[in-house]
Amino acid sequence: MITAQDTICDGFHLYGTGDPLDYGLVGCYCAQYNTPETARIMWDMLTSRSARAFDPDAKYGIQIGNDADLNIVDAPSVHEAIRIRASRPYILCRGKVIAGFERKAAML
């Protein structure tokens, strides 16, 4: 199973942000994924499983020869990344930093 979205505040979803971690948090609530193990399932649905569905022949993972398309997520664990919808200080495409963002909300 995978998850994906393309709505950013449009007629279909007025609250869309385009942030996959927002949808991961909602998905965890809906599926009652309330443990670090089930948070990992959601994480895989947002990342590697979705990527393979998009392009099953691509090389994924951090290995020599693979495209360096990735997000650096500022969180100590998958569970925390989803819980706080963590900052992504570096977003890379083919090894070059193309964007980044810092979440300004207070964390408990």
**SS3 state at 40:** helix
pLDDT of residue 95 exceeding 60: yes
**Distance between CA atoms of 103 and 86, rounded to whole angstroms?**
7
Nearest residue to 46 via CA among 68, 18, 65, 74? 18
Domains of the chain as residue ranges with CATH: 20-101 (2.30.40)
CA–CA separation, 70 and 4 (whole Å): 16
pLDDT tens-digit map of 12-33: 778 888 888 998 999 999 999 9
Q: Is residue 37 helix, strand or coil?
A: helix
With 0.95 as the threshold, say if the pTM is over it.
no
Q: Region 82-95: what's the mean pLDDT?
A: 93
Q: What average pLDDT score do residues 74-96 get?
A: 94
